[in-house]
């Protein structure tokens, strides 16, 4: 069982969009997947509740005992944790439970600066686990054609964590699919949004398989 946390303590960076699409991409690839909503606001749970018989299993774990609570669940191929913003204890718990920490960050200096504390938590955990924890940034809510989206990688390099080649752009169809408890992967499988989310899932699977 491999655990991937999607975390950024700053709100509004697209964590739930990334988490729900990542979980769906892995499910559509034939894996057994559990989506864990660790945000007390319950956005991922609300998303799943829109469909009466949702194809993805979603549970709430919004206490700082995630690493222990996951031991009581039935084994699955992947657990995706939708992290809670502004909750350091929940972030630490999710990081402890994880094999891979994905940090979505918007291409904005303010958003990049706001990740400093989280990056420090992640680096501490990487050191404690002798490098067994993997972590990476993904540029999220990028606006196609803007220079700042291209330049953000250079700024992020100062944090000394990998930056995924995959990028998640600002797209209206992410919100429209979420309103029906779905994803663009199911609603518009040939769209650019579906392609970039499938690429994101594939890139993370490759990194996990290599253990680098």
Give, as one character, the DSSP assignment of residue 42. Answer: -
Residue that the structure tokens 């930056």 belong to = 163
C-alpha–C-alpha distance, residues 20 and 29, integer Å: 14
Q: What is the mean pLDDT of each run of 10 residues along the chain (212 residues)?
A: 93 91 97 95 94 95 93 94 86 94 90 89 92 93 72 80 93 95 97 97 94 62
| Dihedral pair phi/psi, residue 78, rounded to 5° | -135, 140
What is the model's pLDDT at position 82?
96
- In eight-state DSSP terms, residue 62 is -
Fold (topology level) of 2-210: Rossmann fold (3.40.50)
pLDDT of residue 150: 61
* Number of Cβ within a 10 Å radius of residue 54: 14
Residue 23, φ and ψ in degrees, nearest 5: -65, -40
Look at residue 34 and give its three-state secondary structure. Answer: strand
Q: What's the CA gap between 147 and 54, in Å, rounded?
A: 39
Spans of all domains in the chain? 2-210
211: exposed, middle or buried (Cβ count in 10 Å: 0-12, 13-18, 19+)? exposed
- Secondary structure class of 134 (helix, strand, coil): strand
3-state secondary structure of 51: coil
Give the pLDDT score at 11: 78
Residue showing tokens 């989310």: 197
Q: In 10 A of CB 96, how many CB atoms?
A: 20
Q: Exposure of 85 by Cβ count < 10 A (0-12 exposed, 13-18 middle, 19+ buried)?
A: middle
């Amino acid at each position: 069982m491999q655990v991937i946390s999607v975390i950024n303590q700053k709100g509004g960076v697209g964590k739930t969009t990334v988490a729900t699409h990542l979980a769906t991409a892995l499910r559509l690839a034939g894996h057994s997947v559990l989506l864990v909503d660790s945000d007390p606001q319950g956005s991922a749970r609300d998303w799943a509740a829109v469909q009466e018989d949702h194809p993805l299993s979603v549970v709430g774990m919004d206490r700082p005992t995630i690493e222990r609570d996951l031991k009581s669940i039935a084994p699955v191929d992947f657990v995706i944790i939708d992290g809670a913003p502004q909750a350091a204890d929940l972030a630490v718990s999710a990081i402890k439970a994880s094999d891979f920490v994905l940090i979505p960050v918007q291409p904005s200096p303010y958003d990049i600066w706001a990740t400093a504390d989280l990056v420090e938590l992640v680096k501490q955990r990487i050191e404690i686990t002798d490098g067994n924890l993997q972590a990476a940034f993904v540029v999220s809510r990028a606006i196609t054609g803007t220079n700042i989206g291209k330049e953000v990688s250079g700024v992020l390099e100062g944090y000394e964590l990998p930056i995924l080649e995959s990028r998640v752009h600002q797209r209206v169809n992410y919100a429209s699919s979420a309103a029906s408890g779905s994803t663009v992967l199911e609603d518009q499988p040939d769209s650019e949004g579906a392609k970039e989310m499938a690429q994101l899932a594939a890139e993370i699977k490759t990194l996990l398989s290599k253990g680098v």
